[in-house]
Structure 1
Amino acid sequence: MAFAPVDSSLHYQRATLLMAEARIDEAQAELGRTISADPNELRAYVMQAQIALGRGDLDEAERLVRLASRVDPNHAWLLTVQGMVLLHRKQLKEAHALLMRATQLAPDALQTRYALGLSFLAQDHLSFAEQAFRVVVEKNPTAHGVRHMLADVIRGQGRHAEAAEVIEAGLVPNNTMPPDLMRYAGELWLVAGNHARALPLLKRAAAAAPDDRVTLDALIEALRRNGDAADARNTLEAALATSPHIDGLWSARLSFEPADGDIDGLAKRWQAAIPESVQPLHVKMWQAEQQGDKQAAKALAERIIELEPGHVEANSQIVNQLFLDDPPAAVAYIQALLPNITDPRTGRMVLGWLGRAQDRAGQYADAAATWTRLHAIPDPQAQPLPASSGDATIYPPIAEPEGNAPRPVFLFGPSGSGVERVVSTLLHNTRSRIGIDRTSLQPPHDPLQYPQTALRLSVGELDAATVISAWRATLASRGLDESNGPIDWLPWWDNALLHALRNALPEALVLFVLCDPRDMLVDWLQRDSYIRYDAGTPMRIAVWLAHVLEQVATVAEGSPVSNRVVRIDAIADDAAAIAAATGQALGIELSPAPALGPGRFVSGHWRNYAEALAGPFAALNAVARRLGYPDA
């Protein structure tokens, strides 16, 4: 260039070298000199347009394309850039037509073939996109970005192992590859169920990027599936030898330490390697708590809070101790935390702590106010309270089914009833018979899942046979067998369901779990529902609860279907008594569940809130009386 400063090809060649080094601004300047030296240098316009595309400036790319088209409107490179601009503008049909023309004009041009693959991908033509990307990868094995896209297209067609092999093939030419691509291959092998192929890839990926949490999680999963704890420990120790400053590696190493291993030694090494980290202190706090050393646990919690004032577990440790030893102090401590909390989920949790602490301190009006405030916080994931069908049909009694054949059981307990304790007992004893998936993230899609089914039944929009047939159709996929007497935990109840049960499944048994409705309300307020409802105020909850319980009372009094009631008022924290009561209701022998969850308030605790929740209790008094509970 010093000898021939107006040679446009030299400026263009230098621009390509600068682009290869990702020195975009310098390349852009060199391309400008190229065009100044030769306004007909089409390659320079195309490269400038590509830079504009990379920056997302479609208008500038289009302007440059128009300039280049004056030189050669049918050049394959120009058609490729035009197609890419249209692709970005979602004009898929027009873009594809241009890219097909470009490919016909220059079948060996890799950029054109790659752009055609993108066009197929945008139209969801995965097999054609795969073919286009394969051509690029075969001719340029080090094009790791295209290799990643090829693997992703193959994965999208359900061929996980083949997708992983495509990535692994890229290791052959020079045995190097970006760590995120090696991680992706390892993840694909895990999905394909081959941890042996995944493990070496994930070990290499983690060695190259030890601070990448996603890679580390995949490696831990592969090590876990491999089942060789010693190899897992050695792998992570090797990583720690070169990268001791990464908390995630220490956490992973700790996860493979046996319960009787040197957890304390690991925590000390961790703390020495990362003195500013609170995580080893958290491990020590957990150890002290497990050993019953309350003073040490509290001291460690205080040290953690000095380093990280909002640390949830450390604050929880202090709150729990104050809750047991000095409830008023717990109230004051939690109230001091609240102004500094910005995360809504953490705020909900801490308000829950406050309400329970106020209850324990005897500050019942304050506790009711806290719970009211808690339930007023919007939650985008909360469900609306199930609407009632208003069904008021009076059904004649139904006879008990004859014989001892297994009968399906439908279990329901309103929020606050303690139904979860009965579910825990049944899970412990009859895991293969009970379906608890209706409250999960992957519920069955049958009519009994949706509260609107009640209204549709009551107005005749749905018939009984259709509902029960659809229910039967989902049993196998839920791991349930009708011949084995499945127990289906329903998240809602409406007496309109009696249309279906009486007419199409008369052998069914409905099992209700109840306690005093006023205690239900208090439990719901302080613990929240096992299904997060957008319930609003205590009065709204009480009105809804009263309506549901009136329907339950109708069934229990009139027996339109076979039903049993388990009352847990006096046995809520007695696993043996719950097993006995549930077993008696079902006519089977059950053993106590090993754990029931956090303790409940004692039966009748609602009376402490007789003044603070007088209005909601008034809405529940009539149904409480109907269910056999005293007014006061």
Structure 2
Amino acid sequence: MHDEIEIIDTLRSGDVARAIAMARATIEARPDDPQALRVLAIALSMAGQPGEAHQALDRAIALAPQDSSLYYQRAALLVSENRSGDAQPALERSVELNPNELRSYVMQAQLALGQGNLDEADRLARLAARINPDHPWLMTIQGLVLLHRNQLPEAHKLIARGAQLAPDDIQTRYALALSFLAQGHLAFAEQAFRRVVAKNPKAVGIRHMLADVIRRQERPAEAAEVIEEGLALDDNFPPDVLRYAGELWLVANQHERALPLLRRAVAGMPDDRVAMDALIEALRRKGDKAQARDAVEDMLKASPHVDGLWSARLSFEPEGGDVAGIAARWREAVPESVHPLHVQMWQAIQDGDRAASRALAEQIIEREPGHVAAQSEIIEQLFNSDPAAAVAHIQGLLPQIPDPENRRMVLAWLGRAQDRAGQYADAVDTWAQVQAITGPKAVPLPPASGDARTWPPVVEVEVAGSRPVFLYGPPGSGAERLVSTFLHNFGKRMAVDRNSDQPPQDPLQFPQTATRLASGELDAAMAVAGWRGVLPQRGLASGAAPIDWLSWWDNALVPVLREGLPDALLLLVLCDPRDMLLDWLQRDSFVRHEAGTPAQMATWLATVLDQIAALVEGNYVAHRVVRLDGIADDAAAIASAVGASLDAPMSPAPALGPGRFPAGRWREYREALAEPFATLAPVARRLGYPDN
């Protein structure tokens, strides 16, 4: 016969088999002892025998149906089996039999916390506090409730006190780690997680959290090793954790150690695109394309139905390789997939076989009506052969496109088709719909400062070497074509970051600067100092003055260039204002604006162009004007015009982007855009363009 405490101590030592034998011996000696049966149930549960554990507990409860601790033990077994919902009646029975059964209140609170029911967890914790307010588990629960409510200092005080009272308890240590993590104390969180992992080394989730805390401290290799240490104890890790470890090794530039983990991750979740991309990257870094192809082929033998593996196989096919053969194999292996059809369509387009590409596009659309590439191929062919049919096709497609960004793209196709078909009023209506779908990244149009000051003509200063150049063109002017030319000729001297996700934080970035300059709140010297102050952070070439692409212009900036940067040159890009409006309306400016209706766009554009006209007429600052009328799609002509403006030879940019409407196309829209064009007519005359 063995004492229950001795059996529990044996369990804690890890010798579960001996503990079971001891418990059975005790029951043979005392078959009516419910506590011996309770201990046997615990041991059987730890041995992975839940059915036998519940049978032992059933016998114990039959012997002592009024013993609240046995119902608590029933709930604990069910929770360990991930059957928390089934545990609730046992906990309620335990409390009913013994209102002072603290453990049952604590477990109920823990379950409520796990379900995100903070109010219920708080209520149960308050009930339990009447029994023993200083119990470490109770303090931990109360602290976790506060932690979830973002009351971090109060939460940490309770959790730390609980951990102090029970320094070796896994639950209190885990909560302490979470508290440190919530406060951003990564090193302390790491140490707390390490103590939890040391107590429970096979806890995959906590090991994963420990690895992530280490990664956040920029130690990816050490983080990956934490996971691999767990793999040595239990090889049955979830695929997403294997993927994470592989990604960590990639970050640590150790692709050889990443490969086996990522192969296992892909094998375990072959449809996971993130795991597949990580595996492809590891194979790419290995540098042996033949070996990479062989590796992917091996995986395809095991999982031929996975599209991602076929994509990976294509990515390692050498130039001029058997793309068609791979696509055919892919199509045979995954006949329901549109992806091999897409590859075959692309191949037909490359080969110039538009009949085949059209047939393949139609097959794709039968399966996936919203497939962008297939729809684009059909519409592109209809544009050239039958624009009216293209209009009808796109109108039939629109009801199937609920996503705003995709709908915006399809509406742009429709407007282009209507233009080709001569349906000008309909095209304007469609483009107005496009402008109305602004999206989250759209920015308001810069407001005009109203600054109407005049200045005497500037006297240009002699400049030795390069001079700062500020480039500006209103929406629809084609200024981005000059940017392509400058990038080709000057590389990092050309600053394009004002239209990026990380623009420079200088006065010339913010349209409010114009109003501040006009009111006197800001002066030219302050604006120039702010501009110069951030130049070193913009990644520009050193030793040469920058070419800065401005996203707005207002004549309130004249003193900045005239007084603060007398050696600078303002390069203005223009064309007929009515062509500008038409181009802006049908395909956006380089930056998407909350532009409003065509009439509102014309009013704003006229205001900006009137300021530019005043600047040019009065020669307020050193400037040049590049007009793109008739040359917007001619890279050589643009290079020549820019070179002449800067008195420097320029070579043509290799690409300018999508083609523009030809100069004067606005005349086709005189009726459809009569009111906006009337708004622009005075400034068009002022800039030298004819009325008709």
Question: So what's the TM-score if we normalise by structure 2?
Answer: 0.87
C-alpha distance in 1 between matches for 2:570 and 2:253? 41
SS of alignment partner, residue 233 of structure 2: coil
Give the drift of 1:8: 4.8
Residues 420-468 of structure 1, C-alpha deviation per residue, up to 9 Å, x if partnerless?
A: 2111122122112111111111211111111111111121212222222
Out of 240, 246, 249, the residue aligned to residue 186 of structure 1 is 246
Out of 602, 618, 637, the residue aligned to residue 558 of structure 1 is 618
SS of alignment partner, residue 625 of structure 2: strand
C-alpha distance in 2 between matches for 1:352 and 1:407? 40
C-alpha distance in 1 between matches for 2:451 and 2:288? 60
Correspondence 1:429-578 to 2 at 5 A? 429-481=489-541, 483-578=543-638
C-alpha distance in 2 between matches for 1:311 and 1:562? 51
Matched, 1:250 2:310: yes
Correspondence 1:260-299 to 2 at 5 A? 260-299=320-359
> 1:18 — aligned with what?
78
The answer to whether the 8 Å contact 1:475/1:481 transfers is no
Letter paired with 1:416: G
> 1:149 — aligned with what?
209
When the two structures are aligned, how many residues end up with a matched partner? 632
Give the drift of 1:257: 2.2
> 2:658 — aligned with what?
598
> 2:471 — aligned with what?
411
> 2:684 — aligned with what?
624
SS of alignment partner, residue 650 of structure 2: coil
The answer to whether the 8 Å contact 1:475/1:482 transfers is no
C-alpha distance in 1 between matches for 2:544 and 2:283? 38
The answer to whether the 8 Å contact 1:286/1:297 transfers is yes
Give the drift of 1:387: 0.5
The answer to whether the 8 Å contact 1:416/1:519 transfers is yes
Instruction: Return closer, same or farther for 1:8/1:238 CA change in 2, 3 Å cut-off.
Output: farther
> 1:207 — aligned with what?
267
Give the drift of 1:193: 4.8
Q: Which runs of 5+ in 1 are unaligned?
A: none
Residues 279-303 of structure 1, C-alpha deviation per residue, up to 9 Å, x if partnerless?
A: 1111111111111111111111111
C-alpha distance in 2 between matches for 1:246 and 1:272? 12
SS of alignment partner, residue 170 of structure 1: helix
SS of alignment partner, residue 258 of structure 1: coil
The answer to whether the 8 Å contact 1:406/1:483 transfers is no
Matched, 1:420 2:480: yes
C-alpha distance in 2 between matches for 1:75 and 1:191? 43
Give the drift of 1:378: 4.4
Residues 563-588 of structure 1, C-alpha deviation per residue, up to 9 Å, x if partnerless?
A: 11111111111111111111221222
Letter paired with 2:572: F
Identity %: 65
C-alpha distance in 2 between matches for 1:72 and 1:153? 34
Letter paired with 1:370: T
The answer to whether the 8 Å contact 2:438/2:592 transfers is no
SS of alignment partner, residue 483 of structure 1: coil
C-alpha distance in 1 between matches for 2:609 and 2:73? 82
Correspondence 1:293-372 to 2 at 5 A? 293-372=353-432
Letter paired with 1:269: R
Instruction: Return closer, same or farther for 1:82/1:368 CA change in 2, 3 Å cut-off.
Output: closer
Instruction: Return closer, same or farther for 1:433/1:89 CA change in 2, 3 Å cut-off.
Output: closer
Give the drift of 1:630: 1.0
Give the drift of 1:403: 4.3
Q: Which runs of 5+ in 2 are unaligned?
A: 1-56
Residues 526-585 of structure 1, C-alpha deviation per residue, up to 9 Å, x if partnerless?
A: 111111011111111111111111222222222222111111111111111111111221
Matched, 1:54 2:114: yes
SS of alignment partner, residue 543 of structure 2: helix
The answer to whether the 8 Å contact 2:463/2:567 transfers is no
C-alpha distance in 2 between matches for 1:590 and 1:196? 47
Matched, 1:118 2:178: yes
After the TM superposition, which of the residue ranges 580-589 and 82-91 deviates more from structure 2?
Answer: 82-91
Letter paired with 2:281: E
C-alpha distance in 2 between matches for 1:403 and 1:377? 46
Instruction: Return closer, same or farther for 1:215/1:518 CA change in 2, 3 Å cut-off.
Output: same
Give the drift of 1:38: 5.0
C-alpha distance in 2 between matches for 1:351 and 1:2? 69
> 1:4 — aligned with what?
60
Letter paired with 2:331: Q
Give the drift of 1:67: 4.1
C-alpha distance in 1 between matches for 2:156 and 2:689? 74
C-alpha distance in 2 between matches for 1:194 and 1:438? 37
Correspondence 1:103-114 to 2 at 5 A? 103-114=163-174
The answer to whether the 8 Å contact 2:438/2:593 transfers is no
Q: CA RMSD in A?
A: 2.2
Matched, 1:380 2:440: yes
Letter paired with 2:295: T
C-alpha distance in 2 between matches for 1:459 and 1:165? 61
Letter paired with 2:532: R
Give the drift of 1:482: 6.0
Give the drift of 1:614: 1.1
After the TM superposition, which of the residue ranges 476-485 and 567-576 deviates more from structure 2?
Answer: 476-485
Instruction: Return closer, same or farther for 1:369/1:76 CA change in 2, 3 Å cut-off.
Output: closer
**Larger Rg computed on CA atoms:** 2
The answer to whether the 8 Å contact 1:83/1:95 transfers is yes
Instruction: Return closer, same or farther for 1:470/1:176 CA change in 2, 3 Å cut-off.
Output: farther
Give the drift of 1:506: 0.7
After the TM superposition, which of the residue ranges 560-569 and 188-197 deviates more from structure 2?
Answer: 188-197
Instruction: Return closer, same or farther for 1:282/1:413 CA change in 2, 3 Å cut-off.
Output: same
Residues 172-228 of structure 1, C-alpha deviation per residue, up to 9 Å, x if partnerless?
A: 323443222232233334445554544443333223222122222333334344443
Out of 78, 81, 90, the residue aligned to residue 141 of structure 2 is 81
Instruction: Return closer, same or farther for 1:103/1:432 CA change in 2, 3 Å cut-off.
Output: same
C-alpha distance in 2 between matches for 1:466 and 1:418? 31
C-alpha distance in 1 between matches for 2:541 and 2:293? 43
SS of alignment partner, residue 384 of structure 2: helix
Letter paired with 1:491: S
Out of 674, 680, 688, the residue aligned to residue 614 of structure 1 is 674
After the TM superposition, which of the residue ranges 548-557 and 404-413 deviates more from structure 2?
Answer: 548-557
C-alpha distance in 2 between matches for 1:141 and 1:79? 25
Matched, 1:177 2:237: yes
Out of 393, 396, 400, the residue aligned to residue 460 of structure 2 is 400
Instruction: Return closer, same or farther for 1:111/1:258 CA change in 2, 3 Å cut-off.
Output: same
Letter paired with 2:606: A
The answer to whether the 8 Å contact 2:583/2:660 transfers is yes
> 1:101 — aligned with what?
161
C-alpha distance in 2 between matches for 1:157 and 1:397? 59
Letter paired with 1:584: A
Residues 145-178 of structure 1, C-alpha deviation per residue, up to 9 Å, x if partnerless?
A: 2222223333334444443343343333234432
The answer to whether the 8 Å contact 1:410/1:488 transfers is yes
SS of alignment partner, residue 171 of structure 1: helix
Give the drift of 1:10: 4.7
